[in-house]
Chains A and B, each alone.
Chain A
Amino acid sequence: MIQDDLKDLYQEMIVDHSRHPRNCRKIEHPTCAAAGNNPLCGDQLTLYVQLEGDRIRDLSFEGKGCAISMASASMMTEYLKNRTKQEALNHFEKFHQLVTEDGSASTLSDSDLELLGKLRVFSGVSEFPSRVKCASLAWHTLVNALRGNGEIATTESGTEVVASGQGDHS
């Protein structure tokens, strides 16, 4: 039997996505890509984005790391597919608030929470400040990829964008 209070962070959905990550593959000719690295846990991932105009047509990742980082990457790729770049950046803000703000002091509105949908399973992360970077690694990497002016940012071209050291100061 699992104690009830252990379920709030490691909900079945998170465990499932970490065990069976979705969109965990390489996109051969992505519009943009970036590598992310969380030295604390040793989480490493590469994110691939296929844009069609301003819209994310395909989004995938490859990598390894803790369950929180893998589940977050997996669920983010599902969540953002077919959304616009601007939407992705806006949702990053909301997601960041979700994982950093204490539930009772959260400034997210009901409509924000509705918008985040399944991603709300990550709200338990806010109780564990040391794990915020794990949950937000994929998102930081995505922002780096999208802001890379559409260039492919990979290790091969020597312009790797590393998401480590991004602020999670809140």
Chain B
Amino acid sequence: MSIHPNIKKIRADFPILETSVRGKPLIYLDNAATTQKPRQVIERIQKYYQEENANIHRGVHYLSERATIAYENTRKKVQKFIGAESPKEIVFTRGTTEGINLVAQTFGRLRVKAGDQILISEMEHHSNIVPWQLLCEQVGATLNVIPFDFKGELMEAEFDRQIERYAENIKLIALTHVSNALGTINPVERLIQKAHAEEIPVLLDGAQAVPHLPVDVKKLDCDFYVFSAHKIYGPTGVGVLYAKKQWLEEMPPYQGGGDMISSVTFKKTTYNEVPYKFEAGTPNIEGVIALEAALDYVSSLGLEKIAAHEMALLKQLEQAVQADAKLKEFVRPVGTAKEKAAVYSFTLGDIHPHDAGTILDRMGIAVRGGHHCAQPVMDHFGIPGTLRASFAVYNTPEEVNALVTGLHQVLEVFK
């Protein structure tokens, strides 16, 4: 765990960090919501529009070919980044949410019938709850939930019990790799092995994992893996669905339209091959292309170094709270799993997280306050929400100190 050696240079890559907020320098600690974008990503989008803009996969002209090559190069880059077998297993989506909805409405409609079950956990983001509720309503299936304990760790014994008892009925397990509200890193490799022993496929929500830890889908052996570009220094509106090729072949299309077909007549349409079968319509071309720049940027810094940097900041904050009598009295961390990402979720006495968030904002500090789209997690602890500081590679020890000062100010206002 150590601060990235190039931190000064890294900060200079992110133009937005020069912003002043109400006269104070911006301290951006809401990285689990979205990360800021480096110049390399911003400039890549500009380059696309200035030099390559054309529709992909159809034109025979120069620009279209260039755009198509750049778009497909990203697919190969993503494949390597997450260790997929083939670029054909990479489907571009609008984001994690769309990836999960896609699987629910294609794999789900194909495989899940009345009386079947979908298994999720209590720590899921709403985007890994609601698509399954919709599916269950449509087909008459049941959604079952594995609880977590007081630390925010998944109750694995309950997981074991459920898959043993309902092995026949559970048609899919959908789990978060890293919890956005608690920071818990789930032991997904082991859980997948157990699920596969019962022949149950597994989807992982990797939105909070891919930016912070090396992911190898082949090693994990997950059936589906979804994440968003914007949480890994890329643009909004782009996401990735990885699926094992056998599933993509078997699944019906998600949306109909251009690009997802190989021939259309009014009598019959033949679908395009995978992954294009799942990419109807003109996609977010500049976003996909800029995702390649984002992944290159992350690779140039080294994902392990990024993670070590973020963990160093988390430890610094945890120790600062422990060493400070006043903060120790009021700060209650929510989510204290042993395996944890650089997310610090906490309550501050009985001060509402939005009040604390507004006061911190006044000091230029951006943290998230609220339920983090994970209301069941808040209900578990009987709180309306938490404050959450989440770190990225451009954050500094000085910013952690500023947050500590900020928390003192919040307590002072409400003393």
Shortest C-beta distance, A165 to chain B (Å), equals: 18
Interchain CA distance A130-B384 in the complex, whole Å? 17
For residue B371, CB closer than 8 A to chain A, the reply is: yes
Which residue of B is nearest A134, CB measured? B354
CB 8 Å contact bits of A8-28 with B (1 = contact, 0 = none):
011000010001000000000
Q: Which residues of A contact B384 (CB under 8 A)?
A: 41-42, 64-65
Contacting A at CB under 8 A, from B328-372, are 351-352, 354-355, 358-359, 361-363, 370-371
Q: Is B358 touching A131 in the complex (CB atoms < 8 A)?
A: yes
Among B351, B354, B412, max chain A CB count under 10 A is at B354
Question: Which of B22, B359, B361, B412 makes the CB contact (< 8 A) with A1?
Answer: B412
**Contact check: which of B351, B362, B363, B385 meets A42 at CB < 8 Å?**
B385
Whether the pair B413, A2 counts as a contact (CB closer than 8 A) is yes
Q: Taking the complex as formed, is B414 at the interface, i.e. its CB lies under 8 A from any CB of chain A?
A: yes
Tell me the nearest residue of chain A to B385, going by C-beta: A42
Residues from chain B with a CB closer than 8 A to the CB of A19 are 414
- Say if the beta carbon of B409 comes within 8 Å of chain A: yes
Considering the chains assembled together, what is the distance between the CA atoms of A9 and B355 in angstroms?
A: 10
What 0/1 readout, one digit per residue, does chain A (54-71) give for beta carbons within 8 Å of chain B? Answer: 000000000011111000
* Chain A residues whose CB sits within 8 angstroms of the CB of B363 once the complex forms: 3, 6
CB proximity of B140 to chain A, nearest CB, Å: 29
- A5 interfacial by beta-carbon distance below 8 Å: yes
> A residues within 8 A CB of B414?
10, 15, 19, 67
Contact string against A for B residues 117-155, beta-carbon threshold 8 Å, 1 for contact and 0 otherwise:
000000000000000000000000000000000000000
Q: Is the CB of B352 within 8 A of A128?
A: no
Name the residue on B nearest A1 (C-beta): B412
How many interface residues does B have (CB within 8 Å)?
19
Report the Cα distance A68→B23, complex, angstroms. 24
Inside 8 A of A41's CB, which chain B residues have their CB?
352, 354, 370, 384-385
> Which of B351, B359, B363 has the largest count of A CB atoms less than 10 A from its CB?
B359
- Smallest Cβ distance from B384 to chain A, in angstroms? 4
Q: How far is the CA of A64 from the CA of B350 in the complex (A)?
A: 11
* Closest residue of A by beta carbon distance from B22: A5
Docked pose: A131 CA to B370 CA in angstroms: 13
- Which residues of A lie under 8 Å from residue B354 when comparing CB positions? 40-41, 66, 68, 130-131, 134
CA distance A9 to B371 in the complex (A): 23
Partner of A2, one of B23, B358, B370, B409: B409
For B385, list chain A residues within 8 Å (CB): 41-42
A64–B382 alpha-carbon span in the complex (Å): 13
Within 8 A of B (CB), among A34-78: 40-42, 64-68
B368-415 contacts to A, CB under 8 A, are 370-371, 384-385, 409, 412-414
Q: Are B352 and A65 in contact (CB under 8 A)?
A: yes
Q: How far is the CB of B414 from chain A (nearest CB, A)?
A: 6
Most buried by B among A5, A41, A128: A41
How far apart are the CA atoms of A6 and B409 in the complex, in Å? 9
Question: Which B residues are CB-close (under 8 A) to A7?
Answer: 413
- On chain A, the residues within 8 Å of B351 by CB distance are 67
Q: What's the Cα separation between A31 and B289 when bound, in Å? A: 62
Asked if B370 and A6 make an inter-chain contact with CB atoms under 8 angstroms apart, the answer reads: no
Give the CA-CA distance A40 to B352 in the complex, in Å: 12
Q: Which residues of chain B have C-beta atoms less than 8 A from A42's C-beta?
A: 371, 384-385
**In whole angstroms, what is the CA distance A131 to B362 when docked?**
13
Contacts of B412 in A (CB 8 A): 1-2
Contacts of B370 in A (CB 8 A): 40-41
Chain A residues within an 8 Å CB radius of B355: 10, 66-68
A21 to B409, CA, bound (A): 23
Is the pair B371, A6 in contact by a Cβ cutoff of 8 Å?
no
Knowing that A6-B363, A9-B359, A68-B355 touch, tell me 8 more A-B residue pairs with CB under 8 angstroms. A9-B362, A41-B354, A42-B371, A65-B384, A66-B355, A128-B361, A131-B354, A131-B358
Q: 3 nearest interchain CB pairs?
A: A66-B352, A42-B384, A67-B355
Residues of B with Cβ closer than 8 Å to A? 22-23, 351-352, 354-355, 358-359, 361-363, 370-371, 384-385, 409, 412-414
**What are 11 A-B contacts with C-beta separation under 8 Å?**
A9-B358, A15-B413, A19-B414, A41-B352, A41-B384, A41-B385, A65-B384, A66-B352, A67-B414, A68-B355, A130-B354
